[in-house]
Structure 1
Amino acid sequence: MKVALVIPSFYPATVYGGSIFASYYLTKEAAHQGLDIRVLTTNANGKKRLKIVSNKFVDLDGFKVKYFHEQFIKYFSFRLLFGLWKDIKSTDILHLQAIFSYPTPIALLLAFFFNKKVLLSSRGSLSKYSFQKGSLMKKIWLNLLIKPFVKKVYWHATSTKEKSEIKMLFPNAKVYLISDGTYVEKMKHIKKENYIAALGRLHPVKGYDLLIESFVKIHNQYPELHLKIAGKDDGCKVALEELVQNHGLTSKVSFIGSVSGEDKELFLRKAKCLVMPSHTENFGIVAVEAMAQGTPVIASKNTPWEIIEERKAGFWSENNPIDLQKSIERLLEMKIGEYEKNAHSLAKEYDWRHIAKLYQQVLENIYNE
């Protein structure tokens, strides 16, 4: 069974955030477990191009990737348009990631022409929040470029929340649930430091303004507590810094920029908790990454993390400053040793080694239908 992953951008295009890492780790682990998979993508990396060999397959951690050169960054690749058909023709199953990106309708048309089976990942693009901007164009895109092929498409959702979003638009969709994950090792005990953490790009969708407003109230009861927000600026750092300054908390709230590797692990491991006040998340990989370090999580009810409260690994909160404040203070007042152990135990269920096996099972089911 030969699988081709068609995706607009791929590792090391890390400017696009968590979804790039999720696609990379899943592909790498599946390849290590024996899946014959190749990646067809572009050399786009935000406003720049990757400095990498393009238009031919290159080896990457046990599998092959072809980075088609984009003549117009983020908008179009003629090499992909005219070269994709050869690779699709020789594959058995296509896994397409991203809905509102030009490689997807091109690949869907070729899959229809060559009678190939398709697994399509929406990656959060069908959430209600995503339709708040450009909704008319997105509806036109769906009707003209996606719906004509849906009868031959199997869908991939990373959570039950995302599955319901797919079903709202495509009631007859056959949806497979495959979560994102992380690598979970033995729990490393460490003395917690006096800060709460947030991790993710500084974008309005992440709801950090709500977290800062809640921290204003928390600071009155816990004056020595700090808030550390890690992530690259994606358009709202200045506004967030002004909000912090207006509340007189510049010595207590810090924006530490992007963190990765061991630095990210330590950042999460030393925190008293991770707070994820997002307006929407199809999955929210940072929740798993924090729990893998034995750190409880407070996630908004706009994320699919109800299970953290069920398993006593954190709290699932309404997404407003008052309720976030109550959840954070509740956790701070507790002896959280049990919650730390529960968080680590829950994270094990999202280990990439397990997720990759499920991924292969889904592909085999599709192939054999």
Structure 2
Amino acid sequence: MKIFFSAGSFFPAQIGGPDNIMYWQAKALTQRGHQVWVTTTDDGIGPEIEKDRWLTTDFGRGIYVKTAIHYVPLKLLLASLMPLWRCDIVHLSNLYYPSSWLLAPLALLFGKKIVWTIHGELDPDAMIYSTGRKKAVLNFIRMMTKRIVFHSTCDAETQYAKNQFGSGVRIVQLPYFMELTPRLTRTPGDYWLYVGRIHPKKAIERLIEALPLVRIKKRLKIIGDYQNEYGQQLIELANRIGYGDQIDFLGHKKGTEKYQLMADSYCMVMPSHTENFGIVVTEALTQGTPVIASLGTPWKILSDRKAGFWSSNEVQPLAETLNQMADLDSATYEQYRKNATKLVEEYDITKNIQQWEAVYQQVLDKKL
């Protein structure tokens, strides 16, 4: 098959989870012998990667176009015309990024099949920002939905798509698969860990407020760019409740440094109000690190497999879950770590890429 991916940013950029998710998928498809093209901007890309030129990569043929204004990606659209003409399947990412909703009608005009990954952008907590712009884009997309197959990662996201596009909208529901990071040598650290965007939807303030209620005291390390209004509010909150000296705001981390912090941590906590998936959960699991994830995430399996806990993110219940985790005896804790390593194997892209091949074939055969 010939598959064309287009996104506003892409690996090695680390602006968000989709940068890696789409890279892992494109790479796995290329390894399976499919012809893959990727067009993206130079957002988040360093000088080590050549711009405005088609490159032969481990994920197929790719181009990073210089884009002075991120939301005016004219060069990206032009670069997309060649692969758009040659491909069988167009796999779009980012609902609201201009290149996506402008490429969609072009793809349909060329008679191409479209798969569109939602990436959590229809979550109610995400819809409250830039509401007017998002409504306009969604109205435009609604005119094409009968000819698009959307990709969701969980039951809640599937329902959000049906709420927006109608109950008859075509949806394929698959979790995100990932390239499993090799397990690093662990130096046990007695700290809780948060990894992700510093944004109100992540409910990090509830994790901070829960700390004084935890019997066994541990530090909290927070990975993410905190140089924004919400980040400063978190720092002020920590100081106000007397925990400023027990919380480390580490800023943005990536690569081996991020995974080492995951490996060394006692437990990672994702207290978000909502998540369509939460790729950081699987990243932590690759290091054998248990995870506490909120009920607003699709991670009930953590409790089912004893690889962590699925918890309310209200302060008191969250504190009780942290206490449960902290109270585990050493043998039980080590079993949780083994369970985490075993669980994440189910999300290995190399073992699951056939599921995506089947989806693409069904789309081409008009069976989906």
Check whether TM > 0.5: yes
SS where residue 99 of structure 1 aligns?
coil
What is the rounded CA distance, in whole Å, between the counterparts of 2:261 and 2:43 in structure 1?
29
Deviates more, 1:2-11 or 1:171-180: 171-180
Amino acid at match of 1:39: V
Q: What is the aligned counterpart of 1:270 among 264, 272, 291?
A: 264
Which of 112, 117, 123 aligns to 1:116? It is 112
- Taking the aligned partners of 1:54 and 1:193, their CA distance within structure 2 comes to 41
- Per-residue displacement from partner, 1:160-216 (whole Å, max 9, x unpaired)? 332222122221122112322334477678463211111112222221111100012
| TM-score between the two structures when normalised by the length of structure 2 | 0.91
Matches within 5 A, 1:300-315: 300-315=294-309
Residues 137-172 of structure 1: CA distance to partner in whole angstroms, max 9, x if unpaired? 3122211x2011111101111223322221222211
SS at structure 1 position matched to 2:150: strand
Would you say 1:242 and 2:246 are equivalent positions?
no
Q: Separation in 1 of the partners of 2:39 and 2:79?
A: 10
Q: Secondary structure at the match of 2:198?
A: coil
* Equivalent pair of 2:268/2:284 in contact (CA under 8 Å): yes
Range with bigger deviation, 28-37 or 62-71: 62-71
Q: CA-atom RMSD, angstroms?
A: 2.1
Selected match of 2:202 from 202, 206, 227: 206
SS in 2 for 1:44: coil
Aligned equivalent of 2:189: 193
Please list, as runs of the form range in 1=range in 2, the aligned pairs for 1:196-345 lying within 5 A after superposition.
196-218=192-214, 221-223=215-217, 225-233=218-226, 235=228, 236-335=230-329, 336-345=333-342
Which residue is 2:130 aligned to?
A: 134
2:7 maps to which residue? 7
Contact map agreement 1:196 1:228 (CA 8 A) in 2: yes
Supply the AA of the counterpart residue of 2:72.
F
Aligned residues of 2:39 and 2:79 also touching (Cα < 8 A): no
Instruction: Say whether the 8 Å CA contact 1:11–1:20 is kept in structure 2.
Output: yes
Cα distance in 2 for residues equivalent to 1:139 and 1:364: 32
Q: For residues 282 and 187 of structure 1, do their structure 2 counterparts lie closer, same or farther at Cα, with a shift above 3 Å needed?
A: same
Equivalenced residue count is 361
- CA deviations on 1:55-81 (whole Å, 9 max, x unpaired) are 43112225111223324x222132234
Q: Secondary structure at the match of 1:137?
A: helix
- 1:13 Cα deviation from its structure 2 partner: 2.5
Question: Residue 68 of structure 1 aligns with which residue?
Answer: 65
Deviations 1:5-26 (A, max 9, x none): 0112212322x22221111122
Give aligned-pair identity as a percent.
Answer: 30
Alignment gaps of 5+ in structure 2? none
Question: Which amino acid counterpart does residue 354 of structure 2 have in structure 1?
Answer: K
Q: Is the 8 A contact 1:44 1:50 kept in 2?
A: no
Q: Counterpart in 1 of 2:148?
A: 153
Native 8 Å contact 1:6 1:41 kept in 2? yes
| Paired residue secondary structure (2:151) | strand
Q: Secondary structure at the match of 2:245?
A: coil
Relative to structure 1, is the Cα distance of residues 344 and 82 closer, same or farther in structure 2, using a 3 angstrom cutoff? closer
**How far apart in 1 are the matches of 2:8 and 2:263?**
33
The code of the aligned residue for 1:210 comes to R
Deviations 1:85-128 (A, max 9, x none): 33211111100001111011211111121111000111111111
Query: How far is the alpha carbon of 1:83 from its aligned partner?
Result: 4.4
- Asked if the contact 1:180–1:355 (Cα under 8 Å) also holds between the matched residues in 2, the reply is no
Aligned residue identity for 1:10: F
For structure 1, which runs of at least 5 residues remain unmatched after alignment?
none
How many Å separate the matches in 2 of 1:195 and 1:293? 15
1:20 paired with 2:16, answer no
Q: Which position in structure 2 is the counterpart of 1:347? A: 344
SS in structure 1 at match of 2:244: coil
Following superposition, the deviation at residue 352 of structure 1 comes to 2.1
Q: 2: CA distance between counterparts of 1:364 and 1:216? A: 53
